Copies of this chain bind each other. A is one copy, B any other.
Amino acid sequence: MPHPLRIGLAGLGNVGAGVVRLLADNADLVARRADRPVVVTAVSARDRNRNRNLDLAPYAWVDDATELAGRDDVDVVVELIGGSDGPALTLARRSIDAGKALVTANKAMLAHHGLDLAARAEARGTALRYEAAVAGGIPIIKALGEGMAANRIDRVYGLLNGTCNYILTRMESERLAFATVLAEAQAAGFAEADPSFDIDGIDTAHKLAILAALAFGSRIDFGSVATQGIRAIELADLDQAAALGFRIKLVGLAENLDGTLFQRVHPALVPLDHPLAAASGALNAVAAEGDFVGRLFFQGRGAGEGPTASAVVADLVDIARGVTTHPFGMPVAALTALPTADPASRRGRYYLRLTVADRPGVLAELTAALRDHGVSIESLVQRGQSASGDAMVVMITHVSAEVAVLASLAQMQGSDAVTGAPVMMHILDF
């Protein structure tokens, strides 16, 4: 058997420990598939003595993770430190520049510095791989970059954050308020103490920017992702959506619109018969549309020790097999810089929810605002809300220009009959 592929592992949190365990548990299988053993030789983490239920004695310990880049007994550096800059980025650059392959699960780093790292890897003729950075165990990087490589892909979208999906699923199934589920998830360790990366959509935006680049052959453009999270979602929205045949999900959506790049993270109404609607709990799901293949749909666990370790080691197996394709599916120099799409050109159906004073003439005011901007209404429901005396009005528009709906909404907000902040969500009609 040829010489082993030797791994230097930076970061021994859940995922890092999972990688060590996987390479031990499935050592024979991985060696058969990789055509040679894949072995950890050196590890680094902040705290050597933290209990991880792992015997670290077989591995060289390195206090400063960036030193992994210079070790002669390391062929591949696996970066699981996290953070867009700082030690993760230093380690990544040094490793690649030293000619070592780099495997990372760090979506924030890739969203900000992915092109720089990929160009360095191409210049050195080494591999940069990141299957674990998006959608956990789902091999979506491989599917977009290799499996769909024959296709012009103009749309990719999905549920890329397990915490948000878990919160929305529990709100719906157990009829709980957002804040209640979030607090429970934090207590149970499913959500971070500072949950804003997840629930404000930033984590989804990082992943979306990576998928868009890979799908469209375009340069990563994290800065142009319009991002809205799930804090404003109320149980009433979930109920109204369900009554109308939809389920609310935090959707990351990227489109190549006639050579412009549309990227948005937002809560959206997904029809119940769409496969995304059925991806519940902490699952991730991705749909991608190719001009020859049509729509492909992928679903699996998006986070956690096992799925993420599975993705990291899949990259290691590819590297062991000698696969060193371009990190973004084509040379960085061949990626197109797409201008940002004009959101004003967007059309679709929209969901609107308003809290209004329960008095005569209010509905006439609301519907006039829509009429004034040429927006027609597909359905409208008004319900009294016993506690406050206010009423809730929910509307679904026909397909309309988004700017027109926004203008209507602004006009409605000028009315003193509208008492709460209105909610507007997109309907996923594809």
Contact = CB atoms under 8 A, between A and B. Distances in A.
Contacts of A331: 32, 35
Contacts of A18: 292
A229 interface: no
Interface in A158-217: 217
Q: How many copies does the complex hold?
A: 2
A147, A151, A296, A318 pick with most chain B CB within 10 angstroms: A147
Nearest to A33: B149
A294 B317 contact: no
Interface in A127-164: 131, 137-139, 142-143, 146-152
A32 B334 contact: yes
Contacts of A123: none
A109 interface: no
A294 to B, nearest CB: 5
Contacts of A323: 323, 325
Contacts of A278: 273, 275, 278
Contacts of A317: 146, 149-150
A298 B35 CA distance: 27
A44 B294 CA distance: 28
B309 A150 contact: yes
A7 interface: no
A300 to B, nearest CB: 4
Q: Which 10 A-B pairs have the closest CB atoms?
A: A139-B147, A150-B313, A137-B293, A293-B310, A292-B306, A296-B300, A297-B299, A292-B310, A149-B317, A32-B330
